[in-house]
Chain A
Amino acid sequence: MKVDIKKFCILTLALALTGFMSPAFAQHDDHGHDDHAGHEHAEGHEEHNQNEEHGEGYDPVATVMHHIADANEFHIWKGVHIPLPVFLYAPDHGWTTGTSAMFEHGHTAVDGYVLNHGRINRVADASFPKGEVHVGHIDHKVETDEAGKEKDVYYVSYENESYKLDAPSTLDGGMMGGGITSFYDFSITKNVFTMFLAALLLIFIFNAVARGYKKNEGKAPSGIQSFFEVFFVFMRDEVTKPMIGEKHYERFQPFVMTLFFFILFCNLLGLVPFFPGSANVTGNIAVTLVLAVFTFIVVNLNGKKDYWQHIFWMPGIPGWVKIILTPVEILGLFIRPFSLMIRLFANISAGHIIILSLIGLIFLFGDNGANTGGAAAGAVVGGLFTAFMNLIELLVAALQAFVFAILSASYIGAAVEEHHHDEAHAH
């Protein structure tokens, strides 16, 4: 069984590193449109910017969205966090580095940055003091902009004045929506950490497997090698060979396998509900975008003459149909990786949302701590359904990794295929 392990390791690391840019391009996920600004304000609470379920009103939508979003720290339980390194850049101030512990969960502002719901935000006002200052609570307001759209806006209070917070940064600086931000966040966030972890796991495991193949050449596999040989043979015989074809499949085997195992490991780590896991990596549209762009590049760089001819001037059909078909084919070029991106993102996010909603039943039934009997009933009902959903999610984790790999392989197969012009074209 010939597997190019070195290429595989390099690809894995490349995937993880490119994912590094994802926090800068992260979703802005604070869709708490219910107006819970009033009572949040009135509480004078301790944990105001971490856990809305500890506040008076339990807002299931905001809590779920907060939990599937990326964060600059690992939240273990109330008041216990694992800090992560932060690298922030603002054009008008320069770099700010450190760990997320320096923000003291929102109580301290550093160079105008504060931690809001686990995400770093920046005070837009230039008159806000630089360096470490103690700040008051962060208020949430829902404001309507000129277009009549409701937006979540956060204000931090400092010395009896409230300052507006910029939304978390996006890669484009907010030009494509989400508002112009005044800073860039290159931090190792929860998602980036988990991606590194998945990459390192893959590199360690597959180096061990590669050593096994060297040692047992011509013999039966042993140890961890025998566990993974099943996957290799499956990926070769069911995915790459039939999809790409006998002639070219060996060239793309490392790429397709890297996609499969990287997505599988990220999915499985996302299902672990505590520290090393818990990040919603493949449910982040920036991560799936990077993966889909890789497929797009590999497909189009390897496109043969026939592939391009079928896009721009499909042979064997009347001329007027070609005029209609060419724009459709060109659109299809971009829709394919786009659908890869959406499919993985939506499947994994939906799974996380369902599980979090079921856990949220405990807080809903229990009136957020006031009703113990209700909470117990919610725990039984929600717990049973969560166990069931977790089993389904295990299936989905493997299935979506497989679907991403097999679709990538089929797109590559379409690109490298050489047609004989006398045979019928199946499209």
Chain B
Amino acid sequence: MGPIGAGLAALGAGIGIGLIGSKAMEAIARQPEAAGDIRSNMILVAALVEGAALFAIVVGLLG
């Protein structure tokens, strides 16, 4: 069951980070002059989403 849970967690993180990326790209396209700010915030939020997924992966693989 552990590896299946880890896979599901990766799926969720993939969707989450994909949404962040797509919105960030849209925002950069609309406002290219704010690209720097948007990029660093994008990485920050992606890291937070990824953190939740990594919790699940570590628990799934070790538990």
A402 to B43, CA, bound (A): 9
* Chain A residue contacts of B52, Cβ below 8 A: 339
- A217-B51 Cα distance, complex, nearest whole Å: 42
- Contact in complex: B43, A342 (CB < 8 Å): no
Whether B54 pairs with A347 at a CB distance below 8 angstroms is yes
Q: How far is the CA of A407 from the CA of B43 in the complex (A)?
A: 10
Task: Find out whether the CB atom of B51 lies under 8 angstroms from the CB atom of A342.
Answer: yes
- Cα distance A115–B51 when bound, in Å? 36
Across-interface contacts of B44 in A (CB, < 8 A): 403, 406-407, 410
**A382-423 Cβ-contact flags toward B at 8 Å (1 or 0):** 000000000000000001001100110010000000000000
- Hey, what's the 0/1 contact readout for A329-368 against B, CB within 8 Å counting as 1? 0000000000100110011000000000000000000000
- How many A-B contacts at CB < 8 Å in the complex? 33
* Binary flags per residue of B43-63, CB closer than 8 Å to A gives 1, else 0: 110011011101101100000
A132 within 8 A of B: no
Cα A339 to Cα B52 with chains together (Å): 8
Are the C-beta atoms of A403 and B58 separated by less than 8 Å? no
Chain A residues touching B, majority SS: helix
Interface size on A, residues (CB 8 A): 12
| Complex Cα spacing A175 to B38, Å | 46
Of residues 26 through 41 on chain B, the ones whose CB sits less than 8 Å from some CB of chain A are 36, 40
Residue A104, interface by CB 8 Å: no
Contacts of B51 in A (CB 8 A): 339, 342-343
Main secondary structure of the interface of B (DSSP, over half): helix
Return chain B residues, CB-CB under 8 Å to A342: 51, 54-55, 58
Distance A342 CA – B62 CA, assembled complex (angstroms) = 13
Q: Which residues of chain B come closer than 8 Å to A343, judged between CB atoms?
A: 47, 50-51, 54
A238 at the interface (CB under 8 A from B): yes
In this complex, the interface size class of chain B, counting residues with CB under 8 Å from chain A, is 10 to 19
Measured CA separation A338–B4 after assembly (Å): 24
B55 to chain A, nearest CB (A): 6
Residues of A within 8 A of B55 (CB): 339, 342
The chain A residue sitting closest to B47, CB to CB, is A403
| Nearest residue, chain B, Cβ from A339 | B51
Contact between chains at A403 and B43 (CB < 8 Å): yes
Specify which chain A residues have a CB less than 8 angstroms from the CB of B43 in the assembled complex: 399, 402-403, 406
State in angstroms the CA–CA spacing of A347 and B46 once bound together: 13
> From residue B15, how far is it (CB to closest CB) to chain A in Å?
18
**For residue A339, which residues in chain B have a CB less than 8 angstroms away from its CB?**
48, 51-52, 54-55
Q: Which residue of B lies closest to A399 (CB)?
A: B43
Closest to B51 in A: A339
Residues in B whose Cβ lies below 8 Å from that of A402? 43
What is the bound-complex CA distance between A380 and B22, given in angstroms?
A: 35
In angstroms, Cα B42 to Cα A403, docked, is 11
Chain A residue numbers with a CB within 8 Å of B48 are 339, 407
Q: Would you mind naming 14 contact pairs between A and B with Cβ atoms under 8 Å apart?
A: A238-B36, A238-B40, A339-B51, A342-B51, A342-B54, A343-B50, A343-B51, A343-B54, A346-B58, A347-B54, A406-B40, A406-B47, A407-B44, A410-B44
* Chain B interfacial positions (CB closer than 8 Å to A): 36, 40, 43-44, 47-48, 50-52, 54-55, 57-58
Given contacts A347-B50, A399-B43, 7 further A-B contacts (CB under 8 A): A339-B51, A339-B52, A339-B54, A342-B54, A342-B55, A346-B57, A407-B44
User: Lowest 9 A-B CB distances belong to which pairs?
Assistant: A339-B51, A346-B54, A403-B47, A343-B51, A342-B54, A238-B40, A343-B54, A406-B44, A346-B58
